Amino acid sequence: MLIYNSLTRRKDELKPVEANKIRMYVCGMTVYDFCHLGHARMLVSFDVVQRWLRCQGYEVTYVRNITDIDDKIIRRAVATQQPLHQVTSFFTEAMHADERALSVQAPDHEPRATRHVQGMVEIIQALEEKGLAYQSDDGDVNYRVRSFPEYGKLSGRSPDEMRAGERVAISDAKEDPLDFVLWKASKAEDPEDSKWDSPYGVGRPGWHIECSAMSRDLLGMPLDIHGGGPDLKFPHHENEIAQSEGAFGGTLANHWMHCGPLMVDNDKMSKSLGNFMTIRQVIGTDKTNPEVADYPYHVREAEMLRFFIVRNHYRSQQNFAPDNLNDAQHALDRFYQGLNNLGFEGVEPAVEIDWDSDYAKAFKAAMNDDFNTPVAIAVLFEMLTQANREGDRALVAQMRALGGLLGILQQDPVVYLRSYSRYTRLGSEQSSDSALTEAEVEGLIQQRSEAKAARDFALADQIRDQLKQAGIELEDKPGGLTQWRRI
């Protein structure tokens, strides 16, 4: 299995530290707000990675942390006059709701930074003993970047080319502007639940030290895989390397994986540009309440968003735009129409995959080549085409089983095809509030059947046209049965 390694800048063969075992750590969310589309890409991408590794027989320990102490969390707590734990609990529950909607499996461990503060202090003490950390006049403890010779090896930039990165405040008390904070001295106005006692006084950990402590506490060193979003390579992951390797020697991680950026209409997503979208805004119902963590969502749209993500390679730049979403919805609908046409009902148990088949071999080859999901999905389309042409139900069952390894094609086809989506070609014009309910559709179909029985074909055609205008397509089956789906 080959995986592109951000550290070596090439595809490297996966060679686990311990035979058949994978220790994977992925930087998770800072829980002060709802998850956005960039988070969706990270969540889905690494969910596919861990699914495939398990499928290949590896014993995977997947850790994805929660950052529940941070300046942004403190600001949110102060602004809303809530305790920190209340803010972080709410947005953690909201994140879990997003994961359920996107069929993201829970990690094996989901550590919270606030429960690993002692481990952070121990790393800081080890760094201080080696001359890599110092306490400045303002009470903060900082990392001496220029004292770690390999600093910059992940991002490919030398310290002279760098500036202090995101969340690294520049202070006159620092020896060097590049030095980053390991421990932040508390201020009088800070909330009481953001303060911990330490050998360096009352304060709280810096952002970067949190992941060094949590990954070490749960997985040790070296990790087989360390992953995260594209914005974490520098400074966060660069600083993690400096902390962990500076304190303990050796290698923090053998493989570094970073998913690509997600653009919105070819621009970087940002609140200032007005194109910032949360997961719940994209897939939630029109009545989604931002005051609640859990929320109702459109199942068809939710799977479309996951499919939209996996049909692109995890390292590529991806553009979130209406035309691309409509295309993804149409493509996913084709799979479910194939399942429906070949008589799949309910959620049938997955069949055992025939790995000796040419299709399965091609799928496996794609996934073993740096998780090439676009090629893997192309294989599924080939299977769908042949299955439809030959009426091969067994082949489409194999297609569905392979799709399950990507977290797609597992819904009841009838339920899926009758579900609302604003991203279908005709449905994009209407909101879910104006869309016909299932009861209304069934009622009109019954009226049409009665009109046909009375030989009032003009009325029957009128009802069919009315339904089509509302985004409902009918298919008359032998025996007088009429099936329908949203288009």
Domains and CATH numbers, the chain: 2-263 (3.40.50.620), 309-418 (1.20.120.640), 438-486 (no CATH)
The β-bridge partners of 13 are 2
Cβ-count burial 114-147 (b if 16+ within 10 Å, e if not)? bebbebbbebbbbbbeeebbbbbeebbbbbbbeb
What CA–CA distance (Å, rounded) separates 63 from 23? Answer: 8
Minimum mean pLDDT range among 92-96, 150-154, 161-165, 241-245: 161-165
Whether residue 72 contacts residue 179, with contact meaning beta carbons closer than 8 Å, is answered with no
The answer, yes or no, to whether residue 319 has pLDDT greater than 70, is yes
pLDDT score of 475: 87
Whether residue 393 contacts residue 295, with contact meaning beta carbons closer than 8 Å, is answered with no
| pLDDT, tens digit, 9 for 90 and up, residues 115-154 | 999 999 999 999 999 999 999 999 999 999 999 999 999 9
What number is the average pLDDT over the span 320-348? 90
pLDDT score of 165: 45
Minimum mean pLDDT range among 57-61, 267-271, 428-432: 428-432
The answer, yes or no, to whether residue 160 has pLDDT greater than 80, is no
From the number of C-beta atoms within 10 Å of its C-beta (0-12, 13-18, 19+), residue 94 rates as buried
In the numeric block, which tokens belong to residue 223?
């990790």
The answer, yes or no, to whether residue 469 has pLDDT greater than 90, is no
Mean pLDDT score across all residues of the chain: 93
What CA–CA distance (Å, rounded) separates 113 from 70? Answer: 10
What CA–CA distance (Å, rounded) separates 64 from 240? Answer: 15
The answer, yes or no, to whether residue 444 has pLDDT greater than 80, is yes
Q: Is 346 left (phi over 0), alpha (psi -120 to 50) or beta?
A: left
| pLDDT, tens digit, 9 for 90 and up, residues 359-396 | 999 999 999 999 999 999 999 999 999 999 999 999 99
Minimum mean pLDDT range among 51-55, 208-212, 268-272, 274-278: 268-272
What CA–CA distance (Å, rounded) separates 432 from 368? Answer: 40
Output the pTM of the full model: 0.92
pLDDT score of 428: 46
Highest mean pLDDT among 11-15, 290-294, 415-419: 11-15
pLDDT score of 169: 52
The answer, yes or no, to whether residue 157 has pLDDT greater than 90, is no
Beta carbons within 8 Å of 311's beta carbon, 6+ residues apart:
328, 331, 373, 374, 377
Whether residue 264 contacts residue 278, with contact meaning beta carbons closer than 8 Å, is answered with no
What CA–CA distance (Å, rounded) separates 61 from 218? Answer: 9
| pLDDT, tens digit, 9 for 90 and up, residues 276-307 | 899 999 999 877 888 899 999 999 999 999 99
pLDDT score of 164: 45
What number is the average pLDDT over the span 317-325? 93
Say whether 109 counts as a known binding-site residue: no
Minimum mean pLDDT range among 25-34, 109-118, 250-259, 284-293: 284-293
Say whether 268 counts as a known binding-site residue: no
The answer, yes or no, to whether residue 425 has pLDDT greater than 90, is no
Radius of gyration of the chain measured on its C-alpha atoms: 26
The answer, yes or no, to whether residue 217 has pLDDT greater than 90, is yes
Say whether 35 counts as a known binding-site residue: no
Say whether 301 counts as a known binding-site residue: no
pLDDT score of 436: 87
pLDDT score of 171: 64
Q: How confident is the model at residue 430 (pLDDT cuts 50, 70, 90)?
A: low
Say whether 236 counts as a known binding-site residue: yes
The answer, yes or no, to whether residue 177 has pLDDT greater than 80, is yes
Whether residue 71 contacts residue 116, with contact meaning beta carbons closer than 8 Å, is answered with no
